[in-house]
Amino acid sequence: MRTEEKEEGEEEQWRSVHEVLLIVLPYLHSLFELLSMTRVSRSFRDAIRDETALWTNVVVEPPLSSRLTDETLWDITSKSAGKLKTLVLRQCLRVTDKGLRRVVDANPLIRKIIVPGCTELTPEGIMGCVESLTKNNHNVETLHINGVHGFTKHHLSSLSNYLPQKGAIDVEVCPKCEEVMMIPDCSRRSCNHKQTSERKCRGCRFCVPRCVECSVCLGPDTEIQEAACGGDVLCLECWLVLPKCRFCNKPYCTSHSSLRHEIAGTDAASRPMFECQACYYRAGTNPYDAFDYQI
Ligand SMILES: [Zn+2]
Ligand SMILES: [Zn+2]
Ligand SMILES: [Zn+2]
Ligand SMILES: [Zn+2]
Ligand SMILES: [Zn+2]
């Protein structure tokens, strides 16, 4: 594309960049992708910078999250010229209440604030933002705050006055421990049978053990299988199908499968094997175990 652009006149070049932008625009998901696109060419970078429509949804996820400060957040969101609609900040540990508020005050059209795991934010800071946004009959549709510490049921009940729609806020008060937590759905048919009465297994992950694979609740009359990932539990059906550690026979759940220490088989036809981390270190297959620390 670069050599083609050089051959074209400047105006034509500008137009073609815009045409391409319009095509890729719906596919750009996160800030990371957007910033990667700016490296394609100088004209591309300028076009992206000046296209306010591209900046109305700002999504910052790992790996960029850890580098996002209040200042950079302000710079990025300013590009929307006050038209920011969606702000997604996942695990942005450096963004503070002050930084978020500054963005909210400059962007009264925000409808979605998704800030899970932004541990520098506080309930008071977030409530202030929601209050300010809803002042002039403007609706905030979505608020995700899982992993922001300190929310109480009192905070939550005042927040639900501003966001009354069901499911607008990602956390709820656990009916069992009364803490503000995510309440997972249950995949067990019989639990979701009665639409009217509240399902019995409704509760946070600490109150109701749940299979990490299929999210079925694991009550006292169901068999709970331990996964190798420590803390995660599985139902028997999911346990049966997952590959298991060759020593302790515990499987990793799918999201922790990268923790497996794969063992090369003796011949190509043999089944792939692995050791869980605990067994790997205990069994002494770790090369550091052979190291003699004695002086
Ligand atoms: Zn609970
Ligand atoms: Zn399961
Ligand atoms: Zn259930
Ligand atoms: Zn093991
Ligand atoms: Zn796991």
The whole-number pLDDT of residue 2 equals 54
Range of the domain at 112: 56-173
Are the beta carbons of 210 and 186 closer than 8 angstroms? yes
- The chain-wide mean pLDDT, for the chain, equals 87
Do 201 and 191 contact (CB within 8 A), yes or no?
yes
**Domain check: are 41 and 142 in the same one?**
no
Q: To the nearest 10°, the Cα dihedral for 61, 24, 99, 133?
A: -110
Are residue 78 and residue 125 in the same domain, yes or no?
yes
Q: Looking at residues 224-249, what average pLDDT do you find?
A: 93
To the nearest whole percent, how much of the chain has pLDDT over 70? 84
* Sign of the alpha-carbon dihedral angle for 254, 258, 264, 268: positive
Tell me the residues surrounding ligand 1 (ion) with CB < 5 Å.
174, 176-177, 203-204, 207
Asked if the structure places residue 136 within a domain, the reply is yes
Are 62 and 169 in a shared domain?
Answer: yes
Last residue of some domain: 38, 55, 72? Answer: 55
Tokens standing for 272?
């792939």
Ligand 4 center from residue 242 Cα (angstroms): 13
Domain boundary among 123, 144, 173: 173
For the chain, the first-to-last Cα distance in angstroms comes to 63
Q: Kindly state whether residue 224 falls inside one of the protein's structural domains.
A: no
Domain assignment of residue 138, yes or no? yes
The model's pLDDT over 52-89, given as tens digits with 9 standing for 90+, comes to 878 899 999 988 899 999 999 999 999 999 999 999 99
Q: Which two tokens stand for residue 177?
A: 């421990």
**Structure confidence by residue, pLDDT tens digits, 249-290:** 999 999 999 999 988 766 666 777 899 999 988 866 555 555
- Number of structural domains, the chain? 2
Lowest mean per-residue pLDDT among 16-25, 161-170, 272-281: 16-25
Same-domain check for residues 137 and 147: yes
Instruction: Evaluate whether residue 27 is within a structural domain.
Output: yes
φ and ψ at residue 151, rounded to 5 degrees: -70, 130
Tokens read off for 180: 């503000």
- Residue 158 shares a structural domain with residue 132: yes
Classified as helix, coil or strand, 126 is helix
Q: Which ligand has an atom closest to residue 183 CA? A: 1
pTM of the model: 0.77
The pLDDT of residue 35? 80
